[in-house]
Amino acid sequence: MKIEYKIRDNFAEIIRCRGSVSKIVLPEQIAGYPVKKIAAYAFSAKKGEEDPDVLVYESPEDVLFGENERLLAGDAVEEVVFPDTAEEIGNYIFYNCKMLKKLEFTDSLERLGSGAFTGCGNLDTLKVHLKRGRKSCVKEILGDLWQRMDVLFLHEGSNAQEEVQAVRLVFPEHYEEAVENTPARILFTQHHGTGNNYRQCFYGREMDFRKYDSLFSLAVAQEKPEVLADMVFSRLTGPCGLTAEHRAIYEAYARNHPRDAARYLVSRENLQYFQCMSERGLWSREGLEEAIREAAEKGKAEVLSLLMNEKHQRFPEKRKKRFEL
């Protein structure tokens, strides 16, 4: 990958990237300078004039395999990984990047330019490395996006020997609609979906897990079964900040909606989720039989074998007694 950059006050600012792959991994240093800023419109195809007098950094991989090089902007961008040194991204950096799906960054990223995610309707995943505490810019990013977002928080800490604690949270979509009260000729805003409520679950820039979990009853009333199942299993398998009260609520949902849980589990094929159901005794006979039917219909042999074994252990068939005359 070739990177166009400028040297500012003892740091490098990335201006543009050129390469052949849609996943862009930015370096921590260029020419001995830490990469602290990525410029406005850096990944947008709608930028006006290109910056003059830029320096060019060429990665070793590009020297060996630098074929089919193109400007990495607009639809050419699907995933971007920011370095731990990055502190700021510029205005409209991803403007109209319609194919952008995933961002990865650390808690060193603190400043977001205005309109950074305008036109990024397919962005659905954030991966955040928390190395200095629990604060991040996730709240600001979510505030710019209406679509459903999956956020993976990796609590790493400053000590490399500490075990990484992973928590995936689902933030549902939401949208606003202007509705007219015809007799009074008054327009008012009507909110749809619980996404806006979930986006308020921050204390400053830190995730408030208790507040997040307290909204589940609201989600049950408004969200689709697959979204609810995703919330349930994400929290049960990533229980950071999960109270006993809210754990019981999530478990009750899985237990009381066996068909929805079964269809979700088979579609995901996540062994950790199956293990969660087994260890917590959440399977019912109805749920297992539904999951077995679903796995058989979709030809998922490994999942079917796992489910059949679970059914045999949890609900063994009673042998009929035979009497000889």
Give me the pLDDT at residue 186, please.
74
Give pLDDT tens digits for 180-238. 666 766 776 767 799 999 999 999 999 999 999 999 999 999 999 999 999 999 999 99
Q: Is it the case that residue 79 has pLDDT exceeding 50?
A: yes
Contact of 226 with 270, CB cutoff 8 Å: no
Residue 80 lies in a domain: yes
Give me the pLDDT at residue 325, please.
54
- Same domain, residue pair 65 and 134: no
Give me the pLDDT at residue 67, please.
61
- Same domain, residue pair 235 and 278: no
Q: Is it the case that residue 146 has pLDDT exceeding 60?
A: yes
Based on the structure, what is the number of domains in the chain?
3
Q: Predicted confidence band at 159 (pLDDT cuts at 50, 70, 90)?
A: low
Q: Is it the case that residue 65 has pLDDT exceeding 90?
A: no
Average pLDDT over the chain reads: 91
Q: Predicted confidence band at 64 (pLDDT cuts at 50, 70, 90)?
A: very low
Mean per-residue pLDDT, 2-30: 96
Residue 325 lies in a domain: no
- For residue 95, what are the contacts with CB-CB under 8 A and spacing of at least 6? 41, 44, 46, 115, 118, 119
Cα torsion at 39, 45, 50, 53 (round to 10°)?
Answer: 50
Q: Is it the case that residue 259 has pLDDT exceeding 50?
A: yes
Higher pLDDT: 152 or 61? It is 152
- Same domain, residue pair 226 and 129: yes
- Same domain, residue pair 90 and 144: no
Give me the pLDDT at residue 273, please.
94
Of 122, 144, 174, the one marking the end of a domain is: 122
Residue 24 lies in a domain: yes
Closest CA to 116 of 93, 139, 99: 93
Mean per-residue pLDDT, 42-67: 82
Token duo for residue 168: 């995936």
Give me the pLDDT at residue 176, please.
76
Mean per-residue pLDDT, 312-316: 90
Give pLDDT tens digits for 191-205. 779 999 999 999 999
Q: Is it the case that residue 158 has pLDDT exceeding 90?
A: no
Which residues in 272-310 are b (16+ Cβ under 10 Å) and which e?
A: ebbebbeeeebbbeebbbbbbebbeeeebeebbebbeeb
Which CATH number do you get for residue 70? 3.80.10.10
Q: Is it the case that residue 62 has pLDDT exceeding 60?
A: no
Residue 321 lies in a domain: no
Residue 71 lies in a domain: yes
Mean per-residue pLDDT, 127-134: 95
